[in-house]
Every structure is written in structure tokens, then in C-alpha cells.
Amino acid sequence: MVKSRPYVILSAAISIDGKIATKSGDSKLSSKIDKKRVHQLRSKVDAILIGKNTLFRDDPMLTVRYVKGKNPIRIVLDSLGLLPSKSNIMRTASKIPTIIATSKKISKKNFNRLKNHNVDIISCGKDQVNIKQLLQILIKRNIKKLLVEGGGTVNWQFIKQNLFDEIIVTITPFLIGGKNSITFVQGDGFLNISKSAKLHLARITRQNNEIVLFYKK
Ligand SMILES: NC(=O)c1ccc[n+]([C@@H]2O[C@H](COP(=O)([O-])OP(=O)(O)OC[C@H]3O[C@@H](n4cnc5c(N)ncnc54)[C@H](OP(=O)(O)O)[C@@H]3O)[C@@H](O)[C@H]2O)c1
């Protein structure tokens, strides 16, 4: 059977109360041991995807550094093509394959600016990136395994549209609280529990003061 989309893993480090960042956007929850585990996972996927806000807040590299292994393709959802030229991902795009997924609303000027950074641009969706269409394009490009590293707004879209297969969360020993902090899954949320997929707890590992939960569909 021809696959219509990559295998999708949603991954995050969360506080005990389910937050991924404070209201100021501070998300430094991960321990060294967890970073190593995540980098190991990165080295085994074809691509990593994040949302625009995560890039603006964290300016990540999305590479494999804590273990030996290949860098996956980096994908950023950025509807209007606003990513700063000085960001780590844009600066290194000529060396590490990078896809910026935009909507059709991107201006010619922003499109050309991105192109000058040697990124691959995929435009799909009217106002925002259409994730379903994007996944169909990615599988045709032989991206079979995709790691989604947030943030919460992006996670919600994958969950709402039922476009994921696995969830890996590390519960870190912190409490954040606050209605304006960022949770693992943002968006409007489901009205009834019955709307949620009922996941299967496939594995648990303990790493010092944290536990990692591996849930599958
Ligand atoms: N603890 C952790 O493991 C972890 C992991 C990742 C992130 N974080 C934290 O999470 C925070 C950011 O999360 P966030 O929820 O604010 O933002 P986000 O999910 O990183 O990015 C959301 C943005 O992506 C763009 N986007 C484009 N197409 C989209 C689509 N189809 N669906 C969803 N988004 C789309 C949208 O902006 P445009 O439409 O304008 O492009 C949207 O506002 C940061 O503070 C970061 O540090 C924590």
C-alpha cells in the first residue's frame, strides 16, 4: 500500500503540570540526559518540524550534536515567510537541508529572500500551511519518519487532524502553572474526551529525576 504521509512522532519535554514553556517563552526544561536521548531520536528520523514561534523564541539549530549521527532535514512552518535571516536555521541552510513550509499568502519579496538562503520552499494552504498537504508532499520526497518538536500550536494541529502516530513526552521535575504559559497542546482543544484518540502506553523509561512516556496510537 502506498503511504499517504510520513510516520509522525510528537515529542516534548513537559513540566509536571503539562506545560512546555512559561508565559515568557522560557522552555529550558530538558536535562542533559534527555537532550542526548532526543538527539539520538533526531538521528533516526528523516526530518524534524517546528512552528514559527518556536524558531522565534528558541532560535534552535535542530541538528544532532549530543550523539554521533546524521542531521535530519529541518522543516519550519512559517505561513508568511518571516523567519529572520540571522536565525541559526537560516544561517546554516546552505549546509543542512532546510524546508520552509509557507502558505500561498507569502509575498514575492519574502519568497525571494528565503530563496537567497538556499532553503527549499513548499507553499501549500491558503492562509496557513496546510499540514495534510505538506505531509503528502513530504512522503513523495521520501521523508518516511517525521519528528514534530512543537510548539503547542503546531502540536494541536497534528492532534486535531489526527495526523500523528506516536507521542514521546519527558516529564521533568518542574511546575510552571499560569493560564498564559504554553501547554503541550494549545489550540481550542476538544469539547469531549471521546474526541481524543485513546493512546496506548507502549513504554516508560526512567532517567534520573525524569520519566519518559512513549504512547502510540
Ligand atoms: N518544552 C518543549 O519541548 C518545547 C518544544 C517546542 C517548543 N517549545 C516552546 O513552545 C513555544 C512556542 O509554541 P507556540 O504554541 O507559541 O508556537 P509554535 O507551535 O512553535 O508555532 C506556531 C506558529 O506556526 C505557524 N504555523 C504555520 N502553519 C501552521 C499550522 N498549519 N498549524 C500550526 N501553526 C502553523 C503559525 O504562525 P504563522 O501562521 O504566522 O506562520 C503559528 O502561530 C516556545 O516558547 C518554545 O520555547 C517547548
Output the pLDDT for position 1. Answer: 63
Angle at 36 between CA 30 and CA 41, to 5 degrees: 105
- Taking the centre of ligand 1 as the mean of its atom positions, its distance from the CA of residue 14, in whole angstroms, is 15
- Taking the centre of ligand 1 as the mean of its atom positions, its distance from the CA of residue 1, in whole angstroms, is 33
Which ligand 1 atom sits nearest the alpha carbon of residue 54?
20
- Taking the centre of ligand 1 as the mean of its atom positions, its distance from the CA of residue 128, in whole angstroms, is 12
Average pLDDT over residues 14-35: 97
| Cα distance between residue 56 and residue 203, in whole Å | 33
Which amino acid is present at 144? Answer: K
- Taking the centre of ligand 1 as the mean of its atom positions, its distance from the CA of residue 57, in whole angstroms, is 9
**196-211: per-residue pLDDT in tens?**
999 999 999 999 999 9
Which ligand 1 atom sits nearest the alpha carbon of residue 11?
3
- Taking the centre of ligand 1 as the mean of its atom positions, its distance from the CA of residue 77, in whole angstroms, is 8
Which ligand 1 atom sits nearest the alpha carbon of residue 25?
45
Average pLDDT over residues 149-173: 98
Mutate to test the pocket of ligand 1, among 15, 54, 210 (most ligand atoms within 8 A of CB): 54
Which ligand 1 atom sits nearest the alpha carbon of residue 29?
1
Question: Is the shortest distance between the CB of 21 and ligand 1 below 6 Å?
Answer: yes
Mean pLDDT, rounded, of the chain: 97
pLDDT band at 3 (very low <50, low <70, confident <90, very high): confident
Question: Is the shortest distance between the CB of 58 and ligand 1 below 6 Å?
Answer: yes
Q: How many CB atoms are located within 10 Å of the residue 14 CB? A: 20
Single pTM value for the model: 0.98
Handedness of CA 193, 49, 149, 23 (dihedral sign): negative
In this structure, the strands spanning 182-183 and 210-216 are unpaired
Question: Is the shortest distance between the CB of 183 and ligand 1 below 6 Å?
Answer: no
**51-80: per-residue pLDDT in tens?**
999 999 999 999 999 999 999 999 999 999
**78-121: per-residue pLDDT in tens?**
999 999 999 999 999 999 999 999 999 999 999 999 999 999 99
pLDDT for 133 beyond 80 = yes
Query: 61, 88 in Cβ contact below 8 A?
Result: yes
pLDDT for 50 beyond 90 = yes
pLDDT for 181 beyond 90 = yes
